[in-house]
Amino acid sequence: MTENIQKTITIATRKSPLALWQAEFAARLIEKNFPHIKTKLLPMTTKGDQILNVTLNKIGGKGLFLKELEQSMLAGEADIAIHSMKDVPADMPDEFTICSIFKRHDASDAFVSNTYSALEQLPQNARVGTSSLRRQSQLLAIRPDLQVLPLRGNVQTRLQKLDNGEYDAIILATAGLERMQLDDRIKSKLIPNAWLPAVGQGAVGVECLSNRSDLIELLAQLNDEESAQCVNAERAMNKVLNGSCSVAIGAYATLNNDKIAMQAIVCAPDGSQSIRQQAEAKDPYELGSNIAKLLLADGAQEILDMADD
């Protein structure tokens, strides 16, 4: 099959340094595993990259990082798009599919500060930057005294805002900092399962058109089965809960022998309420669905509805 595929694969990517790193990583992986194939990048600016003065949940959610990339595939300008899986909505349009998930990196969040070494060290009313409701709710659950302030932009922009004194600390994904070789900025990690990351955090996925069976068959060979099972379990839960960046949902799945174990949390944006569940199963979709049902049975819908008010 691989011999019949086109000789060049065009990769749509956002222009941010981290997105370009991910696309270049994918390009190297493809060319290393399939020497007869060349890759080229098609860097694009998405609406999510352009509107930085409003939180994502107010302007349409995570899908804003995908739309232009998906349009380029529909128009035949690109063959695949590379994403952080935490940016991929749980409910994808039928025309598109995730055909490969690479080996997952560290899924934790990182505490970044120029003055303090850990969340516990922050003084009363300290200013913490994040535009993630999930991070905000978990911060306020631990430290209701904190001022949680909006923080948008790429990794470097967010760090610059911290360095300019706009915040006492910020919360970023560990994977992004380490991929950008900025791990020296990490003061401490907020580790699963005490603090739960975003669904799919730390994993990079490949999207293509659902009718591109040639690409699906080819790129399936680069799929990391363990990472894919864990990410798919988290995404299955998110889909049942209708999760987006306008609700505070965290999840983390791991593979233990032949079973996937997962913890998940649904939080009120102000940190005042949270519902947590855990379960294990062999099938990722069954596990995700089961945990979602357990959360809903415990009253998660009431909390989820708060985000829509």
Q: pLDDT, tens digit, for every residue of 134-161? A: 999 999 999 999 999 999 889 999 999 9
pLDDT score of 4 more than 80: no
pLDDT at 305: 85
Question: 3-state class of 205 per DSSP?
Answer: strand
pTM of the model: 0.90
Q: How much is the mean pLDDT over the chain?
A: 91
CB 247 within 8 A of CB 264: no
Which is the CATH superfamily of the domain at 109-190?
Periplasmic binding protein-like II (3.40.190.10)
What confidence category does residue 233 fall into, taking pLDDT thresholds of 50, 70 and 90? very high
Predicted pLDDT at 44: 93
- Is a pLDDT exceeding 90 seen at residue 64? no
What residues have CB less than 8 Å from 70, skipping those under 6 apart? 81, 93, 95, 96, 207
Question: Using omega within 30 degrees of 0 as the cis cutoff, is the peptide bond preceding 193 cis?
Answer: yes
Where in the chain is CATH 3.30.160.40? 237-306
CA distance 306 to 301: 9
Long-range contacts, stretch 269-276, CB < 8 angstroms, 24+ apart: 269/133, 269/136, 269/137, 269/306, 269/307, 270/137, 270/140, 271/136, 271/137, 271/138, 271/139, 271/140, 271/141, 271/142, 271/144, 272/140, 272/141, 273/303, 274/137, 274/141, 274/303, 275/299, 275/300, 275/303
* pLDDT number for residue 307: 66
CATH architecture of 237-306: 2-Layer Sandwich (3.30)
**What positions carry a catalytic annotation?**
87
pLDDT for 58? 46
Is 305:254 a contact under the CB 8 Å cutoff? Answer: no
Q: Give kind and range of the element (H or E) at residue 218.
A: helix 213-219
Compute the distance between CA of residue 233 and CA of residue 160 in angstroms, rounded to an integer. 35
pLDDT digit string, tens, across residues 7-21: 899 999 999 999 999
Q: What is the mean pLDDT of residues 102-128?
A: 97
As a whole-number percent, the residues of the chain with pLDDT over 90 amount to 80
Residue 56: is its pLDDT beyond 50?
A: no
Closest CA to 143 of 107, 106, 116: 116
The yes-or-no verdict on residue 246 having pLDDT over 80 is no
CATH 3.40.190.10 domain locations along the chain: 2-102+203-223, 109-190
- Tens-place pLDDT, residues 165-198: 999 999 999 999 999 999 999 999 998 888 999 9
C-alpha 125/C-alpha 258 separation (Å) is 46
Q: Quick one: pLDDT at residue 152?
A: 86
CA dist 200 and 190 (Å) reads: 16
How many Cα atoms sit within 13 Å of 237 on the Cβ side? 37
User: Which pLDDT band holds residue 50 (cuts at 50, 70, 90)?
Assistant: low
* Distance (Å, whole) CA 79 – CA 87: 19
Summarize pLDDT for 65-109 with one digit per residue, the tens.
788 899 999 999 999 999 999 999 988 999 999 999 999 999 999
> Looking at the domain 2-102+203-223, which fold is it?
D-Maltodextrin-Binding Protein; domain 2 (3.40.190)
Token readout for 227 is: 């990472």
In angstroms, the CA 201 to CA 231 distance is 8
Task: Encode pLDDT of 271-292 as tens digits.
Answer: 999 999 999 999 999 999 999 9
Range of weakest confidence among 48-52, 146-150, 228-232, 242-246: 48-52
Check pLDDT > 50 for residue 217: yes
| pLDDT > 50? residue 1 | no
Helices (H) and strands (E) in the chain, counts: 11, 13
**Using 50, 70 and 90 to split pLDDT, how confident is the model at 119?**
very high
